[in-house]
Structure 1
């Protein structure tokens, strides 16, 4: 049995009031966040991709994730995320909204909500999370 996913530990949200509506899974996954928009033009023959940050997933649910980053993410920001779940070959392209954040040592813990939007892998995300829950203990 794949042990990449298990029910996560309860982590207090920054204001102390629990607002989660879904169960969370601790997961081995990475996210590539596009924190700045790409330039619309081609520079010197090569496309400028904007600023991309790779971060670790602390836990996840169908509606969102907790991400560990090395820099502050602005609350309310809508970002493109490429999520690579353990055990899956393809990454999932999602739109996420930063809903909370707190400092945690030299890093930041960020709560992001997955936004249902066109041209993303939102339905595949829901299926992947459901599959992960079915494989968890």
Structure 2
């Protein structure tokens, strides 16, 4: 990671009282792919089905969550498998995220997601990467 990959905060902070995060946020060159519907493999002569994914931009990040820019609304409380490409990291972070809020902004939607701690994901590696980015910013 380079110092130029991240900056603190966003240009348009939410009005006072509307931001619930307890941690600093970084803006970063990053993108996320969410698996909205799982695919099923071919079995017993029945054709398989592909998964349905959506690629979103990331407005800002913290160790515990992300603010996404989505072309479609996502329901609060939904859990999604996610794959995050972060700055100059070679490897994508495989995470599980929960939608906390979603609101329309112009032609797209801003979506706040919380990263769910899980042994089957790169949760620890994600928090380390964000901590290192904050140290170097």
Give TM-score, length-normalised by structure 1. 0.89
Partner of 2:32: 31
Unaligned runs of 5+ in 1: none
Is 1:77 matched up with 2:78?
yes
> Which stretch shifts more, 29-38 or 105-114?
29-38
Moved over 4 A (4+): 43-47
Partner of 1:135: 136
Is 1:59 matched up with 2:29?
no
Deviations 1:49-84 (A, max 9, x none): 410111100000000000000001011000000000
The structural deviation recorded for 1:16 is 4.8
Pick aligned residue for 1:12 from 1, 14, 24: 14
Over 3 Å counting, the alpha-carbon distance change for 1:135 and 1:101 in structure 2 is same
Q: CA RMSD in A?
A: 2.1
Unaligned runs of 5+ in 2: none
Partner of 2:125: 124
* Counterpart-to-counterpart distance in 1, 2:114 and 2:122: 14
